[in-house]
């Protein structure tokens, strides 16, 4: 390490003074940046607070409209239920179905014993000499 002489002291102090000035300028610049950031943060906080109020109002309005829509939907469902009840009242009951079933069984050619024209002629022919009335 070189030795420091008395002539070197003012030069060293001068350098030190310049460096301290640079450091002070940098610190001031950083302080200004911090102040600017604080100002921006304060503005953002106010904006967020205002937006929060606006969003709460909008949400309340949406909820109110949702209740109105729910009431309308319930009214629609109620009318649909009434229509279903009306249609159920118009349906055939068990006795109607049994009557239709019996009628169909009576006309079922496989189960019914229909007589043909020839069979009737033979039956009548034996008793009235083959002539139909």
Could you report the per-residue pLDDT of 40-67, keeping only the tens digit for each? Answer: 888 888 888 899 899 899 888 888 877 7
pTM (predicted TM-score): 0.38
| Number of separate domains in the chain | 2
Same domain, 30 and 75: yes
Kindly report the length of the chain. 133
- pLDDT classification of 112: cutoffs 50, 70, 90: low
Is the pLDDT at 11 greater than 70, yes or no? yes
Same domain, 100 and 40: no
Is the pLDDT at 111 greater than 80, yes or no? no
Domain extent, residue 129, equals: 93-133
- pLDDT classification of 32: cutoffs 50, 70, 90: very high
Q: Who contacts 120 (Cβ-Cβ below 8 Å, separation ≥6)?
A: 132
Residue 52 phi, psi dihedral angles, 5° rounding: -65, -45
Lowest mean pLDDT among 6-10, 88-92, 103-107, 127-131: 127-131
Fill in the DSSP letter of residue 3.
P
Same domain, 87 and 97: no
Average pLDDT, the chain: 83
Give the pair of three-digit tokens for residue 102: 């019996």
Q: What is the mean pLDDT of residues 65-89?
A: 84
Distance CA(18)–CA(10), nearest Å, equals 12
Q: Are 26 and 34 in contact (CB under 8 A)?
A: no
Same domain, 64 and 109: no
């Amino acid at each position: 390490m070189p030795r420091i002489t008395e002539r070197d002291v003012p030069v060293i102090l001068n350098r030190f003074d310049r460096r301290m000035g640079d450091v002070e300028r940098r610190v001031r610049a950083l302080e200004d940046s911090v102040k600017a950031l604080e100002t921006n943060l304060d503005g953002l906080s106010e904006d967020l607070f205002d937006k929060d109020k606006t969003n709460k109002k909008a949400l309340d309005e949406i909820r109110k409209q949702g209740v109105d829509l729910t009431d309308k939907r319930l009214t629609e469902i109620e009318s649909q239920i009434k229509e279903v009840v009306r249609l159920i009242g118009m349906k055939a009951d068990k006795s109607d179905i049994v009557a239709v079933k019996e009628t169909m069984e009576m006309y079922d050619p496989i189960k019914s014993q229909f007589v043909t024209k020839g069979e009737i002629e033979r039956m009548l022919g034996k008793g009235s000499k083959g002539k139909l009335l």
